[in-house]
């Protein structure tokens, strides 16, 4: 408001974008899909206004870390601490090998949780993970295979 960013934009759009930016800066990111699901603002408008707000205010917002999504996904799926730790290890390996670059952090986190559940013999379906993460099963399958290959060719 003080920077006069509202003219020509909806107050709800700017407020929602500010919330999205604040969550990312606080290290508790939510996906655009999650934010748009609980607001009255379309995903495209949130994304466009978010880019405008961070540019105009000169905000430094780091890309979301896939690991920051793991605890929530694991909790929502009622998975063990062991599975959560295994998912984090898969993501660390992904970072070390560089396969995370250019990939959706939500998709990577969802695939890591799915792969970790399988590796620790917990029963969870791609569909269940897809619902919790609001990401397609196809994305989970693709990232899942990449994660396991990075891990050292574990059976996919």
Same domain, 93 and 115: yes
Reference 28, options 89, 82, 91, 71; nearest CA is 71
Same domain, 71 and 45: no
Same domain, 39 and 75: no
Percentages helix, strand, coil for the chain (3-state, rounded to 5) are 65, 0, 35
The string of DSSP codes covering 25-83 is: HTT----HHHHHHTSSS-HHHHHHHHHHHHHHHT---PPPPGGGGHHHHHHHTT--HHH
What is the structure's pLDDT at 108? 92
What is the structure's pLDDT at 65? 85
| CA distance from start to end of the chain | 51
Q: Which CATH number goes with the domain that contains 121?
A: 1.10.472.10
Please give the residue range of the domain that contains residue 71.
66-152
What is the structure's pLDDT at 154? 47
Same domain, 72 and 141: yes
What is the structure's pLDDT at 153? 53
Same domain, 73 and 119: yes
Same domain, 40 and 77: no
**How many domains does the chain contain in total?**
2
Q: Is residue 4 part of a domain?
A: no
What Cα–Cα distance (Å) separates residue 12 from each residue in 8, 16, 19, 45, 70? 12, 6, 10, 10, 29
Residues of the chain where predicted confidence (pLDDT) is lower than 70: 153-156
What is the structure's pLDDT at 155? 45
């Amino acid at each position: 408001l003080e920077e006069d960013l509202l003219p020509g934009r909806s107050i709800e759009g700017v407020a929602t974008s500010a919330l999205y930016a604040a969550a990312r800066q606080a290290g508790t990111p939510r996906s655009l899909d999650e934010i748009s699901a609980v607001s009255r603002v379309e995903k495209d408008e949130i994304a466009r206004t978010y880019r405008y707000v961070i540019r105009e205010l000169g905000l430094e917002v780091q890309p979301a870390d896939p690991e920051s999504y793991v605890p929530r996904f694991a909790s929502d799926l009622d998975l063990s601490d062991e599975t959560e730790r295994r998912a984090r290890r898969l993501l660390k390996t992904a970072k070390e090998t560089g396969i995370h670059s250019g990939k959706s952090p939500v998709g990577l986190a969802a695939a890591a949780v799915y792969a970790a559940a399988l590796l620790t013999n917990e029963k969870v379906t791609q569909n269940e993970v897809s619902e919790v993460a609001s990401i397609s099963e196809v994305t989970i399958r693709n990232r899942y295979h990449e994660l396991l290959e990075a891990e050292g060719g574990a059976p996919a």
